[in-house]
Each structure stands twice: as structure tokens, then as C-alpha cells.
Structure 1
Amino acid sequence: MPTMTAPFDLTLEQLREHRSAKWSRVPADVLPAWTAEMDVRTAPAVADALQLAIGRSDFGYAGDPAPVTQAFAGFARDTWGWDPADGGGRMRLFSDVGHAVKEILGALTQPGDPVIINPPVYLSFYPWLAGLRLTPLEVPMLDVASGGRLDLDGMARALTSGARVVLLCSPHNPLGHVYPREDLASLAELALEHGAVVVADEIHAPLVHPGSPTGFVPWLSVSDAARQVGIAVHSPSKAWNTAGLKLAVGITAVEGRWPQIREEVDWAPSILGQYAAIAAYTDGRDWLDEVRRQLQERTTRLADLLAEHLPGVRYRPGHSSYLAWLDCRELGLGDDPAATFLERGRVQLSPGPAFGAGGSGFARLNYGTSEELMAEAVRRMARAL
């Protein structure tokens, strides 16, 4: 078993050497707390798997997907009590979750069709839909100040209006809301009643915090109705910080649920992504548990920092991942407070308006970093005032 390392002990000087988007696409004096990358040392199991690929000079096209899908199925069984191999469905690989969602939606819809989403929601949903010439049909989350919940009555109205596809972000980004089984089951019944398909982006699922009151419920494990209507997409990219290795897993639970997806999609995943995914899902679990534990601790520390330095900011800690949805409306910084934090404080957050309805006056902060850098981000935000 590879030796465990301290995941978040990278220094600012080390991070400035990174070529990833988070660090290379900002000026040298800006502290990045925006795009969803963590500042972590690579899980030892993943690092060893990549070294194995290098030693083998194995850099060809991605090969047989079975070792990846088997590794994911084992992780899902052990982590969530869900066997994605049951029921006559199938799994297939994509290059990433965005690629998977766009291919699936492209096969399910025609230009102009509405797709139901639940803002404030993952900001990339909007350009994905725009690129396919689809119309976002917004059903905003309720009780955002209390952590959020799904508006089931609003979902029913949207489906009654004729929408036949739901793009569900589960767990919810940026709220960190982990949907309870009963809400998912109700949505599944609504979708089945209206002949709709639910495409569940479950990329943050492995990062649900250990103290989450509900625990993550995979869409395809919710009910028979959910299995009938659902397509789920997973990836190790957020939990093990391997976005650049390009691999996602799409899953259906019943025969014939997949739409007609182009054959060339099978050539899109990366072979290094395959090596990394197998290692992550099998031997990277202890590392992940430590990351999840530390992220849960970060939510408490972040709340304390905000109370000390920015008491006008409202923050309700979520129960998954490393993204904080900050209500900055009392600061009087307008619709896009992230712009002020960048200009005056030299810290970059994600702009709230990009997350759709309900995003004005908010900003999203990435706290998937060391405690020192998280604290520095908050101090810079305070100086911006």
C-alpha cells in the first residue's frame, strides 16, 4: 500500500509552479479561489499508477474500459451500497463529465428544447446548454439561506409545461446540498409520470463530508422509477483532483436507456485517466477519507474566519465538496462582488451571477486548499472593503 501523505501541505511557492488552470490563468499577485481544483498532493496510489504507465511507455489510446468500470462498481458498492452493474444497464467512458452531459443531451434533445436546472447551479451548465442550442428552464432551489432544498412543486410545473429532460447537480454545486432520498424519489416519480429523463451529474459524490446528515444517495439507487428514467455520470476528477487526466463514467440501470451516442465517443477518454481511475477507486480510498475529513473541518474554520473578518457575509456550510456559496449582499458591492474582491483584494472567486437565478450579490469560494491559504483569501476579501 502506498505511503499516506498530508494532502493539503503544498506551499504557495509550490502552487505558483503549477500549470493548471486555477494557478496559471491568474496574474502572479492574485490568489486563486475560483475554479474547482483542490490544492492537494496527488494520492499516492494515483501517483504510483501514473509512474507505472510511464515505466511501461503506455501512452496510446484508451483501451478496454472493463477494468475502470469494475473498479468504479467496487467503489460504489463499498461506499454507497449501490451496485451499478445490476439491472441490465451498462457503463461507458467519456473524457469528462462535461463531455458526457453534452453527448447525452445532444442525443436526447432537439435545438430549442427546454432542459430543467436548479439554480444557483454549476456555472458550466449554461454554456453546455447554449452550445447545444437548448433553453435552460430554471427551477430555483428553495431555502438557499438554510442550505437549499429542491422545489418539487416547481419541478412538477416545469415537467407539466412540456420539458422532458432534467439536468440534476447532485450533490448540489455550489450549495453543497446533499439531497435526501425522499426528494429524489419524488422527482423520479414526476419524471416517470411525464416521460422525462433525469441526467444526474454526480461528480462531487465521493466528497460528501463524513458528517453529512443524509449521506449521498446515487440517483440510480433511489427507486425503480429513478432507474427507469435515469442516466448518471461520475468521475474521479474532483475527489482525487485528476481533472486533467480526462475520464468519466456514464451509467444506466435498465436496458435501452442510453440514447444513440456517437461511436467515436469511445475514443475520447485518456489512457492515463484509466490508470488513475482504477487506482483511485481501489487503493485511493484512505487518502480520500482524510481529504473528506479535512474538508469538513475547513467549513467550520471558514465560518469562523468570515465571522471575524467579514461579518457582513452570510455563509451556510454545505455537506459536500470544497465550495462555499457566500451571500455578500449586505456588503453593497453590487451584483458581482467577486469583481471587487479581485480588483481591490487580489483574490479571485467565481462570480455569483454566472450560476443563474439567485446568483446576484453572491460569490463562490474554493476552500480546497491549506488552512493558511484559505485564511489569506478571507483576509484579502476583507481588505477589499
Structure 2
Amino acid sequence: MKWRSHPGDVLPMWVAEMDVPLAEPIARVLTGAIARGDTGYPFGREYAQALAGFAARRWGWAGLDPARTAIAADVMLGIVEVLRLITGRGDTVVVNAPVYPPFFAFVEHDGRRVTQARLDERGRLDLGSLAEAFAVAREQGARPAYLLCNPHNPTGVVHSRAELEAVAALAAEHGVRVVADEIHAPLVLPGAEFTPYLSVRGAEDAFAVTSASKAWNLAGLKAAVIIAGPAAGADLQRLPEEVSHGPSHLGILAHTAALNDGEPWLDGLLGGLAANRDLLGRLLAEQAPEIGYLRPEATYLAWLDCRSLGLHDPTADGAPGVVSELAGPARFFLDQARVALSSGHVFGAGGAGHVRLNYACSQATLAEAVGRMAEALRDSR
């Protein structure tokens, strides 16, 4: 998808897929399974057990109980299934915008309403806006929920323990159930520290959904884990058995191998991403200083503020969730620079006039992309 969605002269810097070789422990497990003809149905809790071990080693979190988990095809489908357990049709789900576009599309497609709480100018949680959104959600339906992106996509912000504890307190005050998307948790870069939402005080009735797919580039090998907090186990018991039919056996093998044996590869990746993050900042400062750069603490995605360029398309405001649409600066850079970026308007309130750039590529590709963008801006003046 990354390399075929646009003509060959376009640099694809949009979809969340990395230009990296597969980690050897994962390749070894997969080729071994193929050699054995082991391509049947998944079984057991090895994936959840591997995740629990990874969480204890990486984040110092020993509270992940594999007995309170279930498998799902991927994180978004897992989120939808959890929302079906804790909300009803017509209930409201709060999100922090700008945010990952499928948060809008998947939730609304399943008959829930979305209310947006804005992030602040640093891309961090705005607790005042969140409290207002929780109050609205409570008025609109009997069983409101909050879909938390931790770390946040597209800003790359890693929420602090204090911020997450404040979220838990607000959720308890307003009777809002929390579901945390933690798919980017292994991709926290040097200088920041990840806190699992289920590890904070007050999050006992919450859920988290995660996967090894982003950190080890396994998007084509579907598998995710739903984790219930200690007070949410009864809700998880109501999850339909057929949900576990979604992930592939090879996907679970791959994700389990990543979590058990893929940390050295991950550490190397994080070093490269940190170097690319810094390179991107330097390139923009030197060649296109009018583009604002919010230095990410996690992920391999950079949120670029292009509002000063005069490319904003006001007709694109208020149209979140449709990831194929381009407007404003994303359309300009595709047409004039032949660089494909994610258009900010689909990320919801506060997204228009921005683009999201994927810097998980070679430094030569990154330099070429910024050079093309800068040249297009110069030619347009």
C-alpha cells in the first residue's frame, strides 16, 4: 500500500509503515511455521504472556494478567469490540483531537457518537477541555466512554503518569469508561517514559488494546491483545467468542516472537528513529523554517504545522476520519513536490493546516522529501 498507492515518482511519507527489514527472530519463527505447514487456527495465551513479560521488563509493569486478556484481529477492531461491551448504540465516545482518523470512522460506523476534546498547543492533553467533553458525553447517553491514544498519534506526545492519573480521576467523576489504544507504546524515544494506562490509580475498570504491529512493522500479520483492568474482567467475559477468530495464527506467532526475542532489534530501531527525528528537525529549520515542527516523544510520525504557508483549505474543516482525502498543504506537497503526506484535516479539530510525516525511512529519503517540499515552497512564492 505504501509504495503502490501513488505513482512511482512520489515519495510515500504517509501511511504508518516503516522501511525496515524484518527482525530475524520473527522471520525465523515464521519460516519455521511454514516449513512445518503450521498454518491453522491460533490457540492459547502465548501472545498475552509475551506481552506481560515485555511490559514488566520494559515499563516495570507487573500488573498485566494474561487471564484478563483476549485476542482480536487488530487494535481498532479490538477497540470496537470493547466499546460494544461498555457502551450502547447512540452513546458518546470522547476523543482528543487531532487524533488518529479511524477513531472517528470506526466508532461512528458502529452507531456511537464522537465528541472531541481539543489538545493544547503543545499537543498535550487539555484537562479542562476533556472535563467539558466528559460532561457532554454524560448528558448525551447513559454509558459514555473515552478513547485514549497513549502515546498520542499524530503529535507523538507521551502522556505522563500525572496526566493519566488526572484522566482517571475525571473519568470516575463523570462516570466515563476509558479504553486506551497503546499500539505505539514500544516506540517511546529516548528522553520520554511510557506509562501504561492500566497501571495508574483509578484505572481499574478500564481497558487497553495493543499490538506489536507498529513497533516491529507487522501490519500485514494481524493480531492484537485486549487487556481488561481488575474491575473490568466481568465485562471481558461477555466478549463474543468469535472475536478471537479474527487474528491469524501466523500473526500471533510473529507478534509473540517480537515481544519475547525482538528487543535488541527494537533498541536498534529506536536509535535510528531518534536520529531521524533530530535530522528532520534540522532539515526543516534549515530549508523550510516556516513549517512548525512538534518534536515527537514517541512513534515515527511527525506533526507539522503548515498554517503559516497560506495553503489552508477552509472547506476541509470538520471532515475527520476519511483518510484518503487530501486538502490544503498535503494536496500542495503531493502535487508540487511529489511527496505524499497525511492530510491534517482528517485528524479532527485542530488538524486543518497540518500534515503528518512518517520519518521511518532512510536518511537519504528523508532529506530528499524535505528538499522537495522546500523547493516547492520556494517555487510557489
What is the CA deviation profile of residues 264-314 of structure 1, one whole-angstrom value per residue up to 9, with x for unaligned ones? 111111111111111101110000011111111111100111112211101
CA contact (8 A) 1:76 1:82 kept: yes
Q: Which amino acid aligns with 2:170?
A: L
Query: Which residue of structure 1 lines up, in the alignment, with residue 324 of structure 2?
Result: none
The CA deviation at 1:168 is: 0.3
CA shift in 2, pair 1:304/1:162, >3 Å: closer
Q: Say which of 153, 162, 174 aligns to 1:194.
A: 174
Q: Which amino acid aligns with 1:222?
A: V
Q: Which amino acid aligns with 2:37?
A: S
Q: Say which of 181, 184, 192 aligns to 1:204.
A: 184
CA contact (8 A) 2:91 2:137 kept: no
Query: Which residue of structure 1 lines up, in the alignment, with residue 130 of structure 2?
Result: 155
Give yes or no for the alignment of 1:73 onto 2:22: no
The CA deviation at 1:262 is: 2.1
What is the aligned length? 356
Give yes or no for the alignment of 1:242 onto 2:218: yes
CA contact (8 A) 1:296 1:319 kept: no
Q: Say which of 19, 27, 34 aligns to 1:39.
A: 19
Distance 1:90 1:55 in 2: 33
Distance 2:58 2:171 in 1: 27
Query: Which residue of structure 2 lines up, in the alignment, with residue 50 of structure 1?
Result: 30
Q: Which amino acid aligns with 1:298?
A: N
Q: SS in structure 1 opposite 2:203? A: helix
Q: SS in structure 1 opposite 2:16? A: coil
5 Å-filtered alignment, 1:57-206, equals 57-64=37-44, 66-86=45-65, 90-144=68-122, 148-163=123-138, 164-206=144-186
Query: Which residue of structure 2 lines up, in the alignment, with residue 13 of structure 1?
Result: none
Q: Which amino acid aligns with 1:312?
A: E
Give yes or no for the alignment of 1:366 onto 2:358: yes
The CA deviation at 1:259 is: 6.9
Distance 2:81 2:16 in 1: 22
CA shift in 2, pair 1:96/1:201, >3 Å: same
Distance 1:191 1:154 in 2: 13
5 Å-filtered alignment, 1:320-331, equals 320-331=298-309
Query: Which residue of structure 1 lines up, in the alignment, with residue 323 of structure 2?
Result: none
CA contact (8 A) 2:115 2:137 kept: no
Q: Say which of 204, 226, 233 aligns to 1:227.
A: 204
Q: Which runs of 5+ in 1 are unaligned?
A: 1-20
Distance 1:183 1:71 in 2: 28
Q: Which amino acid aligns with 1:46?
A: I
Distance 1:350 1:293 in 2: 24
Distance 1:222 1:289 in 2: 26
CA contact (8 A) 1:211 1:296 kept: no
The CA deviation at 1:109 is: 2.3
Give yes or no for the alignment of 1:338 onto 2:330: yes
TM-score, normalization by structure 1 = 0.89
Q: Which amino acid aligns with 1:43?
A: A
The CA deviation at 1:222 is: 1.0
Distance 2:54 2:303 in 1: 29
Distance 1:351 1:172 in 2: 17
What is the CA deviation profile of residues 159-204 of structure 1, one whole-angstrom value per residue up to 9, with x for unaligned ones? 2234320000000001110011011001101112222210000000
Q: Say which of 242, 259, 264 aligns to 1:281.
A: 259
Runs of 4+ in 1 over 3 A off after TM superposition: none
Q: Which amino acid aligns with 2:11?
A: L
Q: Which amino acid aligns with 1:236?
A: A
Distance 1:246 1:77 in 2: 24
CA shift in 2, pair 1:75/1:97, >3 Å: same
CA shift in 2, pair 1:257/1:84, >3 Å: farther
The CA deviation at 1:89 is: 6.2
CA contact (8 A) 2:208 2:228 kept: yes
CA contact (8 A) 2:94 2:137 kept: no
Query: Which residue of structure 1 lines up, in the alignment, with residue 317 of structure 2?
Result: none
CA contact (8 A) 1:89 1:257 kept: no
Query: Which residue of structure 2 lines up, in the alignment, with residue 317 of structure 1?
Result: 295
Q: Which amino acid aligns with 2:168?
A: A
Q: SS in structure 2 opposite 1:55? A: helix
What is the CA deviation profile of residues 217-253 of structure 1, one whole-angstrom value per residue up to 9, with x for unaligned ones? 0001111x1123x100110000000011000011012
Q: Which amino acid aligns with 1:80?
A: W
Distance 1:318 1:104 in 2: 29
Identical aligned residues as a percent:
47
